Amino acid sequence: MPTSFKILANIPTQWKKKKYPSKPIWFTIIVAVTLLHIQCNRPTIESIKKQTPQAQFQAGLKAFQEEDYWRALDIFQLIVSGAPDHPLHEQALFYTALCHFHLKSYYSALDYFFRFLHTYPTSALREQARYYIARAYYAITLPPELDQTLTYRAMEVIRLFLREYPQSQYAPECQQMLRDLEARIATKAYLNAMVYYKIGKYRAAVIAIENTLKEYPLHPRRAELAYYLVRAAAEYARQSIPEKQPERWQKVRKLAHQYRYAYEGTPWEKKVLAIMEGIPSVADRPASERAQASSTSEMPQTRKNKPGKPARP
């Protein structure tokens, strides 16, 4: 009996008693033998080097279609480096960039795609190259908690693609990527505004939240931001000097009324109502009285001379 059959015959008895014991084992063996057979019959890179560029390109394309991107990359590089004047150099350079993209080497993919556009500016593959450049930039963007420089760059690249190819088959996907990035920027603005609130910089929080609400009128967390605007304004008014409190408490009341009008039924409405009820009576002082009190506090104080000493000229 061949050795391989002897090994299979010595499978432990407890494995044979299970319901599905042998299927995974046989499947693994068949797959391993098949892959070994394919690997043995496939030409090596060294042998492909001796072939013509046409044969090399076909071998690289076959590996690419089999999703063996590392092998495809090695083969296409033979044409990119060894046959720069060959008619297939254009496609080989494009597929080299595409292999890097599928291997998630996005920075290398960007380098090769830009090289492709520079070398072949009128290529029929230009639209696809621009599309994959947009996707590569989208892939390297960072979460909203981190720096968003790459996000702005990706948005710029995607907008350029949509302007140049508005009817492209890739336009819907690019528009979705753009919406995702815009939402990420909006989330970053929300996080920045909330940082000021959490560290107690309430004046800066009021300014940051107002700017965010103005810049992103469709912000998904707009109601929450508006609530924190009321809350930050209230904390800022509470910590202000007495002369400034009436005006700032009036702003709190105005913001609270706007919130109740615009966001009725939201989870923060009761909290805003509680802030309104806690506004001190100083906010009801007439403007003339506040102005008089302010002018009185700003009048220069007359120095009183001590008895027995003449006043200074």
Question: Model confidence over 68-90: pLDDT tens digits?
Answer: 999 999 999 999 999 999 999 99
- pLDDT confidence tier of residue 43, bands split at 50, 70 and 90: confident
The rounded distance, in Å, linking the Cα atoms of 118 and 53 is 22
What is the tens place of the pLDDT at every residue in 258-280?
Answer: 999 999 999 999 999 999 999 99
CB count within 10 Å of CB 90 equals: 16
The rounded distance, in Å, linking the Cα atoms of 280 and 237 is 10
Residues 55 and 79 sit within 8 Å (Cβ to Cβ): no
Q: Which tokens go with 145?
A: 């908690």
pTM to 2 decimal places: 0.71
What is the tens place of the pLDDT at every residue in 219-269?
Answer: 889 999 999 999 999 999 999 999 999 999 999 999 999 999 999 999 999
**Helix (H), strand (E) counts: the chain:** 16, 0
Cβ partners under 8 Å of residue 234, min gap 6: 249, 252, 275, 278, 279
- Listed by start position, the domains of the chain span 41-122
Burial of 164 (0-12, 13-18, 19+ CB in 10 A): exposed
Chain centroid to CA 242:
44
Domain 41-122, CATH homologous superfamily name and number: Tetratricopeptide repeat domain (1.25.40.10)
pLDDT attached to residue 23: 52
The rounded distance, in Å, linking the Cα atoms of 237 and 190 is 22
